[in-house]
Each structure stands twice: as structure tokens, then as C-alpha cells.
């Protein structure tokens, strides 16, 4: 009997090769899929996009504005390596539209620099800046690099939509128009070039937001200014967990 039992144990067939391989293959999850996707896109940080509008002094020059932002970007890049800023800066006669794409930390530093400049300088050339929206964790960039373009002639419409439409409708049309403008620049501007130039009012007049829209958004009290955003961003969150809640609540007699 012992010999027969030993013979039965040794006579077992080896497990199929497919079974062995299946047991050794690691099982992935959704987190691994997201991490692999980030590696394939060569992303070192999550990408965000911010839309800003502001009023500017009438006598300020394009060169001065471009140099200001170049210095801000270079200063931030020293502390946020590899987090390059791309986007578009449209300079109107008395206002500007700025679209920025970069990391969350870089965008926060840009707002902080404006907030400090407005607080320390009595006559800062950028005024009434408002944040239209900040889109978090966007999949790709709309712009290959950072462009500056001057709108030399006022872009106006016969009908003032700011009087007939709500703020939500104005912002919706604003985003549709700027998105079409970004796609136009992406398709027409070559990599490494200086940008679309200062003739967008001739090549794509229907894609440029009217300056009256920019001024309307700058005056809107419903939109957040950088000072309020920076304060909320720096404010710590006080979260009360369930373990900290005692019921019934203690009371004094």
C-alpha cells in the first residue's frame, strides 16, 4: 500500500503551460492604466489651461507686455523645471485676452506675480484682471508655444450682445470662438515661427472676440479676480472626519 500511494503521487501529470503562465501574469488595475497613459504621453505633471482677461493702459507697448511675461515665465521656470508655458496673448487697444497652458503650480505663480505687482505698484499697467475659467487635467495642449498678437483695429459687431445675452451665454460664445481661433492657429502657424503675427484681424476676423466682450468680462462681478483666487488657493482646508464627530454633542448643565 505505501508503494502504491507513492506511485500515485508521482504519476500526476504536470500542469499545462497555459495554466502556469496565467498564474504568473500580474493583474493590472485602472490606476496602472492611467500611469501607463501618463508615461506614454511623457507628462511630468498634470496640464491645466487658464483664460484671463484684463484692462491695460492705452499707452502701453506690445514689447513691454511681451518682455514682462517673458521675465515672469523665465523666473518661474527656475523653480518649476520643464513646466513650459504655452498659449496666446491677444493685445487690444485697451484690454487683453490671455490663454495659458502649464502646470497648476506655474499658473498659480503667474497669478501671484500679478497680485503682488498690483499690490506693490500704484500704477500697474494691468488692471481689472478676471479669471474666466481654469480647466484642470486637460489631455493635450491647444498651442505649440506661447504667441503674442496685437489686434490693431477694434473688432466690433453691429449688435452689442452683452445687453441682450446673459453672462453664461456670452461666456459660452466666447469659448466657442476662442477654441476655433486656437484650432486655426494650430493648423496655420508653423512650428518654431514667431506666431500668427499682428494681422489676425485680416486673416481671421470672425474668430477674434470683440474688445467690447473683453471689457464686459473685466467688469463682471461674478467672475473671480486673482486676489480672491490666491487667497482661496492658500487657505487651508478644515475637513472634519466622522471619527471626530461625537453624538450626542456635549452640553453644559
With respect to residue 132, please indicate whether it lies within any of the assigned structural domains.
yes
Between 129 and 43, residue with greater pLDDT: 129
With respect to residue 7, please indicate whether it lies within any of the assigned structural domains.
no
Model pLDDT, residue 115:
81
Cα-Cα-Cα-Cα dihedral sign, residues 46, 178, 130, 199 = positive
C-alpha cell at 22: 496565467
Model pLDDT, residue 83:
83
pTM, full prediction: 0.73
**Rounded-to-integer distance, Cα 66 and Cα 57, Å:** 15
With respect to residue 120, please indicate whether it lies within any of the assigned structural domains.
yes
Beta-strand relationship, 48-56 and 126-135:
antiparallel
CATH number of domain containing 124: 3.30.70.100
With respect to residue 14, please indicate whether it lies within any of the assigned structural domains.
no
Model pLDDT, residue 26:
52
Give 54-111 pLDDT, tens digit per residue: 999 877 888 888 888 988 998 888 887 778 899 999 999 899 999 999 998 899 999 9
How many structural domains is the chain composed of? 1
Q: Indicate the average pLDDT of the chain.
A: 78
With respect to residue 143, please indicate whether it lies within any of the assigned structural domains.
yes
Q: Whole domain around residue 137: which residue ranges?
A: 44-234
With respect to residue 34, please indicate whether it lies within any of the assigned structural domains.
no
The pLDDT of residue 23 is above 50: no
Amino acid at each position: 500500500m505505501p508503494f502504491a500511494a507513492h506511485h500515485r503521487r508521482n504519476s500526476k501529470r504536470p500542469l499545462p503551460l497555459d495554466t502556469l503562465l496565467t498564474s504568473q501574469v500580474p493583474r493590472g488595475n485602472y490606476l496602472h492604466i492611467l500611469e501607463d497613459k501618463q508615461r506614454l504621453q511623457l507628462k511630468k505633471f498634470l496640464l491645466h489651461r487658464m483664460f484671463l482677461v484684463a484692462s491695460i493702459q492705452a499707452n502701453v507697448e506690445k514689447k513691454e507686455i511681451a518682455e514682462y511675461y517673458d521675465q515672469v515665465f523665465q523666473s518661474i521656470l527656475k523653480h518649476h523645471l520643464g513646466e513650459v508655458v504655452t498659449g496666446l496673448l491677444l493685445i487690444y487697444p485697451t484690454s487683453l485676452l490671455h490663454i495659458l497652458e502649464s502646470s497648476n503650480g506655474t499658473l498659480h505663480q503667474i497669478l501671484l506675480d500679478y497680485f503682488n505687482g498690483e499690490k506693490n505698484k500704484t500704477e500697474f499697467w494691468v488692471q481689472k484682471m478676471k479669471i474666466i475659467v481654469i480647466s484642470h487635467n486637460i489631455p493635450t495642449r491647444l498651442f505649440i508655444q506661447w504667441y503674442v498678437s496685437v489686434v490693431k483695429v477694434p473688432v466690433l459687431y453691429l449688435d452689442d450682445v452683452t445687453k441682450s445675452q446673459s453672462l453664461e451665454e456670452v461666456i459660452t460664445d466666447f469659448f466657442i470662438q476662442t477654441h476655433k481661433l486656437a484650432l486655426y492657429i494650430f493648423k496655420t502657424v508653423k512650428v518654431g515661427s514667431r506666431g500668427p503675427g499682428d494681422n489676425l484681424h485680416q486673416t481671421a476676423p470672425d474668430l477674434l472676440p470683440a474688445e467690447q466682450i473683453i471689457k464686459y468680462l473685466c467688469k463682471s462681478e461674478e467672475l473671480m479676480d486673482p486676489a480672491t483666487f490666491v487667497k482661496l488657493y492658500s487657505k487651508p482646508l478644515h475637513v472634519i472626519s466622522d471619527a471626530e464627530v461625537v453624538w450626542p454633542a456635549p452640553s453644559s448643565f
